[in-house]
Structure formats: C-alpha cells, structure tokens
Amino acid sequence: MWQAMFSVTNTIALVAWIVLLALPRRPFPLAMVLYAGVGVLSLAYTSGLAVLIAQGGVDFTQFTTIAGIRELFSSDAGIAIGWTHYLAFDLFAGLWIARDADAKGFGRLFQVPFLLLTFFAGPVGLFGWLLVRERRARGPGGWSRKKKTPAG
C-alpha cells in the first residue's frame, strides 16, 4: 500500500509540475495544478495519516524530538506520508511563485530556475524567489515608499 502511495503521489506531483512549467498560465491549468495536484496530494497525505493513526502508528509526542521523527520515518508508511507532505507543499509553493512572478511581470524563462529549485529543494527555490521578488513587490520606491495622503 505505501509503495503504491509513494508511486502515485510522485506521478501526480510530476504531472502537476510539468503543467505549471510548460502550459500557458490560464485559469484551467492553474486550477488543475491547485486541485488535481496540491488538493489530491493533500487528500493522500490526510488519508495516509488517518490510516497510520488508526493503526496506532503515530504518537504525537514523536513530533517533538529528533528521535521521535526518526522513528516515524523509519517505516514505509512514515516515508510515504512524509514525502507526500513535501510534494504537496513544494507544489503549492511553486504555484504561488508562478502566480506571483506572472503578476509582477517576470518572464517565464526567468521563473524556471526558481520553480525547478522549488521542485527539487523546496525552501531553496522559495527563498531565492523571495529575495528576487522583493524590489518589484515594494514598487518603485522600495521599502521607503511613502503613502500618498489625500492632502497631497
């Protein structure tokens, strides 16, 4: 069961990333990435975690120590569920980066390295994007931009 979950979730994530990277950023492909990608991966994670809890395989105090996390990841169930967690959140971060980059006028080719970094090493790509986007996120004046008042 856990190997099947691992294989299916990897396939779902890969297809969603291909859609995000290669297809036009129109409402349908973006919705597909969100719901058929992130949503289904989140459902798989939730279902797998529920099965593991029902089997008595999770003691929530395990999440508070390295030894506890090591024990959780020492089983096929823990690996499949944990990996699905990574896949869902990395894809969500990639979708956010793509939408944010489009909204700020960054070209698709410029986005590719950040999306690939997010695909392979989630927080690295996200951190890189946060650094690059900052100037455009703040507008022409950057952090020092003052709000206009009605008086002028």
Whether residue 152 is predicted with pLDDT greater than 80 in this model: the reply is no
pTM of the model: 0.85
Q: Say what the pLDDT of residue 143 is.
A: 46
Give dist(CA 13, CA 86) in Å, integer: 10
Q: What is the pLDDT of residue 139?
A: 65
pLDDT digits (tens, 9 = 90+) for 25-84: 999 999 999 999 999 999 999 999 899 888 887 777 777 889 888 888 888 998 999 999
User: At 127, is the pLDDT very low, low, confident or very high (cuts 50, 70, 90)?
Assistant: very high
In angstroms, the CA 139 to CA 98 distance is: 19
The pLDDT of residue 91: 98
Calpha distance 101→96 (Å, rounded): 8
Spatial CB neighbours of 16, under 8 Å, sequence gap ≥ 6: 32, 33, 36, 37, 38, 91
